Amino acid sequence: MSGFLSAKSALSNGHHVEFLTPLPPYGPSEKEETKGFGVAVRSALCGCTNLHTHRGRRNNALLILTIAILPVVALVIQNAVFVQNSNAILTTSVKVKDDVLFSIQSGTVVHYMQIERGTSALYISSTGDANVLKNLQGFRDNTDRAIESLTLWVGSSVDGENFVSRDKFHQSIRDFRELVTNVSVTVPENVAFYSNFIAVMIGWLADSIQISRSGDLWPVLVRYHMLIISKEQAGVERALGSTFFATGELRC
């Protein structure tokens, strides 16, 4: 019969009696839920996202929040990486700026020391000519202003006792000037003193250029360094050449 389920039961006399039990009504069981179009789906399969249950609504809300938060997290990570890279670029730019400033300032000191070296050699060769001394004093003032304008000092005891600080460096030059004024040194000693100081400063310039290799100004700094070296070579020739015209012979 439709809607009934038959079952047989054995009696003691050997006869069988058939019982009819009603079938369950059409529809989902306790473990099933009706979805769209009347399709029964087990809650165990979709209960985690079923909007008809408290658990399903909670899981759906969590899913929506997760989808909404993921782009925000990705954006935060992207900005953090961008800030880190920008900070590294800024640090490099500041370092390059300091190196360029030091290169210009130290190059100015080297320039005036070269002129002072040549004029000092001429003064010694002239055995203390007053007119040469007057010009020499003006060049010394230029050197003093250039040294005092240095905003960075990279010298240390490794370079020598005279390079521990800017003041020590400046004082050693002043002390040597007294010897030059009194004509107590020879032309070779004068050239050697200034040339040693200039060589150390050119070495500092080369070191700062090596550190700034990552910057776009590195080729310009290299050319500037080569220009300073060529000026130094010409300066030594000028210092020795001036003594030739002063004494009529080359002293070296």
Q: What is the 3-class SS of the chain, one letter each residue?
A: CCCEEEEEEECCCCCEEEEEEECCCCCCCCCEEECHHHCEEEHHHHHHHCCCCHHHHHHHHHHHHHHHHHHHHHHHHHHHHHHHHHHHHHHHHHHHHHHHHHHHHHHHHHHHHHHHHHHHHHHHHCCCCHHHHHHHHHHHHHHHHHHHCCCCCCCCCCCCHHHCCHHHHHHHHHHHHHHHHCCCCCHHHHHHHHHHHHHHHHHHHHHHHHHCCCCCCHHHHHHHHHHHHHHHHHHHHHHHHHHHHHHCCCCC
Q: Render pLDDT for 160-196 as a digit per residue (tens, 0 to 9).
A: 889 999 999 999 999 999 999 999 999 889 999 999 9
> What number is the average pLDDT over the span 215-238?
77
Spatial distance between the Cα atoms of 196 and 113, rounded to a whole number of angstroms: 11
> What number is the average pLDDT over the span 95-109?
81
User: ∠ CA 249-250-252 to the nearest 5 degrees?
Assistant: 145
CA 145 to chain centre: 32
Averaged pLDDT score across all residues of the chain = 77
Is the Cβ–Cβ distance between 202 and 229 less than 8 Å? yes
Is the Cβ–Cβ distance between 190 and 121 less than 8 Å? yes
Q: Is the per-residue pLDDT at 232 higher than 80?
A: yes
Model pLDDT, residue 41: 47
Neighbours of 99 (CB within 10 A): 22
210 — pLDDT class (breaks 50, 70, 90)? confident
Model pLDDT, residue 117: 92
CA 229 to chain centre: 28
Is the Cβ–Cβ distance between 121 and 243 less than 8 Å? yes
Model pLDDT, residue 211: 65
Is the Cβ–Cβ distance between 28 and 40 less than 8 Å? yes
Model pLDDT, residue 36: 47
Is the Cβ–Cβ distance between 100 and 223 less than 8 Å? no
